[in-house]
Structure 1
């Protein structure tokens, strides 16, 4: 497909500046954050310290994310419009559903992720520089402002920064993996079944599901490429490829990284670290294989990873709000593109304002918990939208179709539904808040709808 500009209804225009590697960098850049160094402890704890079951959960998390990505590849190539999930939910169900997702992203999941990452970056220096909570929040606000301003100067600059940060964090992560696999002298027990053989399969599958949810925290972000599809080169080919290669590559890295941990650290040491509250197993591995330089390497890698993840979300999320405004039920200024830099500037600025507000009123733990559940419902609805698209729009061009349809789509939907139920049982307060925010968005949609009809 020839590169071309897409004329926007408000007089601006999108530019196709993102290639295949750029698409993979957006996905991988958002997915691979600081969690690679500590989430392994949480997954391991939830599997009752079974290394084999833990690796299984990391693999399952990647497979689930990849299945979801295949669904998004079909939806994205069928409706190649800026806005991603907002567009698919609009067309599959009703515009109010897409609006509820976009509103949730603006006030909670998208802006909340930016806030959480902005707080996490200076928090990494807290022990070194003795930073107070006030100073940490001030630095977080400055980071949000700086990255937002940078991305106001065009998608090309944002994508270039994403490519650089992706490469910069992959090099040390891969170096740690290779060094650990070569120098590690442990022989981890990778059996996924308890040694005594007394297995209650209902409890076992519940345990695996609970641990897999923890791994999915690390995989979160694979939905964020679709919103920028109008800015991708040859999206019919590059969107599916970027999703498959991006998610697949991240899965490989996560599984190998956690296996490398087990090759270097003894079971006893891992157990002692987790019991003492030190969850950063990846950091300890870097110290073991690289000495004091390992601590510096991990800190730099974590900062780059969080920075890249934050930049990717700042790029992707405003396209949701752009789509909401273009549909007619949000502030018109959100649907305007800058005449020179071709980005939704107003949406970018308001996203930053809300993210800053969240930094000032919420803690890092609160933000992280709220963000996790809020996306599950809409991921499930988008996966089910594949069925609706095929039935509702049989003549719609589908350059890419999900492998193994309908079995793969049914399986993916059931998995996400099960994870939602499991999360609701384990953390009902967060789940309820995650449902209330979209309902508020629905009310605001109705208000705009009445004004529009008048």
Structure 2
């Protein structure tokens, strides 16, 4: 039995993360191994138009930055642990935030952890010929080790995140610099294909939207820094700076990396590689520029990127479940903080358990893809929440306000809504199924709500 001073009410989260730590959370989660192959999907969706593909990478960054401005305002005026869970609770109804958090807890968050943990040893498959069960065991050990490490405080987790970020960026920057300097190709960067777009302006918009969705997979994860707002020093200034600088820098990095690919690989060869399902264009560029050393650079960057992404997600996702428990409609144990290290230890442990269970299941990629659409829905609702917050809480102190309000907010909503509609049209079954889990979350919320009301009446 713990003493009274160990109760969740008496222990608070500790502000131990600085600006670079916030940027480390964003870049650590966002920049993963996908930088080496996602460019192939963007090219496919633009019908192999390099100029249009490059434009879509920039558009994806702009969409993310516009969303980031909205998240920055909410995070600065309401710097509470849980981020999106808290904003959705206050702007709409607690059930909305709960649906997001429940989806993350049961599937998207835990599934993402499991998928990255499996992907890391799988990258070494060609070197060590791991069996399927060896890969799963390594993945489980990674989840356990990083979860245990992050139970020793947010400062320890942030330091590891910062170190892995710097270590990851070094090989990526070397590949970009080498390719841009030594590349001898002159890629056609015209965004208008010969003969124009099929379907005219409407066809052009659909093509750009479809390809931009592919880039958003690479930008996914920047929203998670808001979940640790309560642990960031001077969040009123550092949270907006982390979001804007972090997403902006990643946009430049992605654009330069894809331009580097176009400077090294001849167009016909790029088309041939993609058509033969050889999607790792970035890996091929590194080998062309640095020889055998290039392969080692890519391998190092991918391993460190996945390690940093796994660590960042373990830190961020657990704060969602902590916020849900504090709100009162989730397992009370998840609201308990470590008296010594001031982190949500139980939420971290349960997150690890569910992730390990998912590691032992098959088709993790299918499981996580089911929640892509619901993720877009919740992101859009948070952007709209900026307007609702200003109407609902007019006297709330706002140290940072979204640039160009309300134009930027409305534009963000339109862009996110257009991407959602496009995703629904292109992949209706997956999109609809992806909404089932949040719906289950709503049912669970009302079960907890009924139980809570009985306890209060007793």
Asked if these proteins are the same fold (TM beyond 0.5), I'd say yes
Secondary structure at 2:401's aligned position in 1? coil
Match of 1:105 in 2: 104
Secondary structure at 1:14's aligned position in 2? coil
Tell me if structure 2 keeps the 8 A contact 1:31–1:221. Answer: yes
Alignment of 1:52-63 (within 5 A): 52-63=51-62
Secondary structure at 1:140's aligned position in 2? helix
Match of 2:73 in 1: 74
Tell me if structure 1 keeps the 8 A contact 2:227–2:317. Answer: yes
Secondary structure at 1:254's aligned position in 2? helix
Q: Deviations over 1:104-158 (max 9, x none)?
A: 1101121111111011111111222222222222211111111111111111110
Match of 1:407 in 2: 407
Calculate the aligned-residue CA RMSD, in Å.
1.3
Q: Deviations over 1:146-192 (max 9, x none)?
A: 11111111111100000000000111111110000000010000000
Match of 2:284 in 1: 284
Tell me if structure 1 keeps the 8 A contact 2:30–2:221. Answer: yes
**In structure 2, C-alpha distance between the alignment counterparts of 1:65 and 1:333, rounded to whole Å:** 34
Question: How many residues are treated as equivalent by the alignment?
Answer: 448
Q: TM-score if structure 2 supplies the norm length?
A: 0.96
Tell me if structure 2 keeps the 8 A contact 1:119–1:364. Answer: no
**In structure 1, C-alpha distance between the alignment counterparts of 2:294 and 2:209, rounded to whole Å:** 33
Tell me if structure 2 keeps the 8 A contact 1:116–1:367. Answer: no
* 1:206 to 1:339, Cα distance in 2 relative to 1, 3 A: same
**In structure 1, C-alpha distance between the alignment counterparts of 2:76 and 2:197, rounded to whole Å:** 48
Match of 1:297 in 2: 297
Match of 1:131 in 2: 130
Tell me if structure 2 keeps the 8 A contact 1:112–1:371. Answer: no
For structure 2, which runs of at least 5 residues remain unmatched after alignment?
Answer: 1-5
Tell me if structure 1 keeps the 8 A contact 2:197–2:203. Answer: no
Alpha-carbon shift at residue 53 of structure 1 (Å): 0.3
Alignment of 1:204-243 (within 5 A): 204-243=204-243
Match of 2:143 in 1: 144
Alpha-carbon shift at residue 9 of structure 1 (Å): 4.9
Matched, 1:114 2:113: yes
Match of 1:177 in 2: 176
Alpha-carbon shift at residue 362 of structure 1 (Å): 2.9
Secondary structure at 1:192's aligned position in 2? coil
Question: Which piece of structure 1 moves more, 282-291 or 126-135?
Answer: 126-135
Q: Deviations over 1:344-402 (max 9, x none)?
A: 00000111111111111132431442343231110010000011001111111111111
Secondary structure at 1:15's aligned position in 2? coil
Matched, 1:444 2:444: yes
**In structure 1, C-alpha distance between the alignment counterparts of 2:389 and 2:183, rounded to whole Å:** 50
Matched, 1:64 2:63: yes
**In structure 2, C-alpha distance between the alignment counterparts of 1:206 and 1:22, rounded to whole Å:** 37
* 1:362 to 1:12, Cα distance in 2 relative to 1, 3 A: farther
Alpha-carbon shift at residue 436 of structure 1 (Å): 0.7
Match of 2:36 in 1: 37
Alpha-carbon shift at residue 8 of structure 1 (Å): 8.5
Tell me if structure 2 keeps the 8 A contact 1:47–1:53. Answer: yes
Match of 2:255 in 1: 255
Question: Which piece of structure 1 moves more, 367-376 or 82-91?
Answer: 367-376
Alpha-carbon shift at residue 33 of structure 1 (Å): 0.3
Secondary structure at 1:248's aligned position in 2? helix
Q: Deviations over 1:270-329 (max 9, x none)?
A: 111111110000000000110011111101100100110111010011111111111111
Match of 2:93 in 1: 94
Tell me if structure 2 keeps the 8 A contact 1:29–1:312. Answer: yes
Alpha-carbon shift at residue 266 of structure 1 (Å): 0.4
Q: TM-score if structure 1 supplies the norm length?
A: 0.97
Match of 1:156 in 2: 155
Tell me if structure 2 keeps the 8 A contact 1:116–1:364. Answer: yes
**In structure 2, C-alpha distance between the alignment counterparts of 1:85 and 1:128, rounded to whole Å:** 41
Matched, 1:19 2:24: no
